[in-house]
Structure 1
Amino acid sequence: MKIELKNTACFGVAGNFTGHLEQAGEAADFVSVAAAENAPKAVFPTYIPGACGTVPSFLGVFPFDSLEIRFLEGEKKVQIEPECAVVFRAHWNGDVIESLVPLCFGASNDCSIRKEGAKKISLKKNWGASSKGFSSSLIPIDFFSAGGILDRYRIASFLVRGGTVYEYGEDSAVRNYSYIYGTLLEWLLDKLNGQRDEGPAENINGYLNECGRPEQIMISIGATRYTPFGQNNFLQNGDESVVVLYPEDVYNSEQIKTMVLENDFPQADISVLRQKVVL
């Protein structure tokens, strides 16, 4: 399945795997953000096509690349954020999104700069072209609820350095997100329509209305927790970042790691994002 991402408004979800924000050193950013227990903290923008009005101009720069990650000279703390991303069709009723219809999913690298003092999450997410990743191999969604295709899938991530494959994020089931399926959809509609510009969060509904109420929205629904290696190792020139979404009833984690080492993946049922890190 192909998606024209340049015409798609793109977002991420902060704090949808318990423990990730603490590992990333970002929990303090959300102290003032009211949220239910175990709920994600906020939706943040990574790309708004045709950014205009109050939308920060940097969000109009297309940041996604399926082959490379380029990061700014002088930045030292850049980490892979391995995620499942879902593309939705948005149905509008006036100036609010009435419903989100899931279309397909794929491997995402919501790559982030660990930067203290950034006022908004988006400032650590889109620093220009090739600052993020979304797989070109997308998988259609049958239905977005328990028992559907996503119940079978896991998120694995790796850093390849000097010919050695290191596990970067914990191998995690998509179904184990804190918020998933109906709970996630309800939460997303609330945030896309009603999130206010406060603390690290931004007024998403205002952005979307100013930029033409896009009919397609991609959301990376949350980064997994890191392994000890992933938590303590930042990207370096020449590394390769690999995020894999795979069905657990067909493959196991060791088979996936071998595929990463050999760079040889089946095309039908696995979504792979492999990016070379370039300074």
Structure 2
Amino acid sequence: VTNAVIDFPTRGGNVQVEPEMGLYCDIVYTKEGDAVERLVPRRIAAFNDCSIRQLDGSEKLSEKKNWGHGSKGISLRSFRVNSISKGSLVDRLSLVSYIKRGEKIHQYSVDAPARNYLLFHDDLMDWIVKSINTQINTGKWEEIFSQLVKSDYPTSMWIALGAGEYTPWGAANYLKPGDESLVMIYKEDAYPQGPDKDLVASLFEELDAPADIIPLHQTFV
């Protein structure tokens, strides 16, 4: 995971940014250490869950997502949270992404309020805990809890909460070396119409972001 570059994969094709909210949580285990009891939300960051859509011979989803050190991205800044319950800060956060190709900037995903996730708030947290404890190695999925045990029971984790919908341009254009991506989380009350073009352009130039925006700018190399 990096905050400035994506190492373009040497295998496969049809690479896409998956703009997501990253949720940093404390992990609370049962006394017996045989399961995760609950997760405690701490921070929200911009996350690039970059993926290879076409990879011959792959069986697991992780093979299309984790091809090396620079296959993911996470913002340096984040919003502090202590909950993602209904009515908390997350209900005022929205996610959007852009691609800069050459000198032209394209909106890559549609503005996506977090509250519109198909599963969110406390229901999502409950589902994540259940998945950690019960998911098995079958099909494209892999066990999760056994990996936590092998890692000596880490006390925190980052969780990517899922990508939104691509714009027509985003759906039709796969990434190339030299492209730049910008994944952004912003507070809707500060930007009810979303960030304007000048602000987006300034974030591609690495100018300081306003306090109500969390940007992640990366270049595909």
Pairing of 1:151-170 with structure 2 (within 5 A): 151-170=91-110
Tell me, in whole angstroms, the C-alpha distance in 2 between the residues paired with 1:73 and 1:123.
Answer: 13
Equivalent residues in 2 for 1:237-256 (5 A)? 237-253=177-193, 255-256=195-196
Determine which of 81, 84, 87 is the counterpart of 2:24.
87
Structure 2 residue aligned with 1:272: 215
Where do 1:84-233 residues align within 5 Å? 84-93=21-30, 94-116=33-55, 117-233=57-173
Alpha-carbon distance in structure 2 between the residues aligned to 1:164 and 1:252: 24
Aligned pair in 2 of structure 1 residues 193, 253: CA closer, same or farther (>3 Å)? same
How many pairs are equivalent? Answer: 215
Q: Deviations over 1:190-216 (max 9, x none)?
A: 100010111111111111112211110
- How far, CA to CA, are the matches of 1:252 and 1:239 in structure 2? 28
Runs (4+) of structure 1 moved beyond 6 Å?
Answer: none
**Alpha-carbon offset, residue 73 of structure 1:** 3.0
Alignment check: 8 A CA contact 2:190 2:212 kept: no
2: CA distance, partners of 1:254 / 1:265 = 17
Partner secondary structure for residue 193 of structure 1:
helix
Between the aligned partners of 1:98 and 1:257, the Cα distance in structure 2 is 44
Structure 2 distance, partners of 1:143, 1:185, is 10
Query: Could you tell me the percent identity over the aligned residues?
Result: 37
Deviations 1:146-167 (A, max 9, x none): 1111110100000011111101
In the alignment, the residues of structure 2 paired with residue 175 and residue 245 of structure 1 have an alpha-carbon distance, to the nearest angstrom, of 13
Partners of 1:265 and 1:221 lie apart in 2 by 26
Measured after TM superposition, the shift of residue 172 of structure 1 is 0.5
Q: Quote the offset at 1:72 in angstroms.
A: 2.4
Measure how far apart 1:262 and its partner are: 2.2
Letter paired with 1:270: I
Letter in 1 for 2:214: S
Report 1:2-41 matches (<5 A).
none
1:66 aligns to what?
A: 3
Q: Is the 8 A contact 1:142 1:149 kept in 2?
A: no
**1:74 Cα deviation (Å)?**
5.2
Give 1:254 deviation, angstroms. 5.2
SS in 1 for 2:13: coil
Amino acid at match of 2:51: S
Unpaired runs of 5+ residues, structure 1, are 1-63
User: Which secondary structure state, in structure 1, belongs to the residue aligned with residue 139 of structure 2?
Assistant: coil
Q: TM-score, normalised by structure 2?
A: 0.92
The Cα shift of 1:188 comes to 0.5
Give 1:111 shift. Answer: 0.2
Relative to structure 1, is the Cα distance of residues 142 and 257 closer, same or farther in structure 2, using a 3 angstrom cutoff? Answer: farther
Tell me the distance in 2 between the aligned counterparts of 1:270 and 1:189.
Answer: 29
Deviation of 1:239 (Å): 0.9
Single out whichever of 131-140 and 251-260 deviates more from structure 2: 251-260
Q: CA deviation at 1:170?
A: 1.4
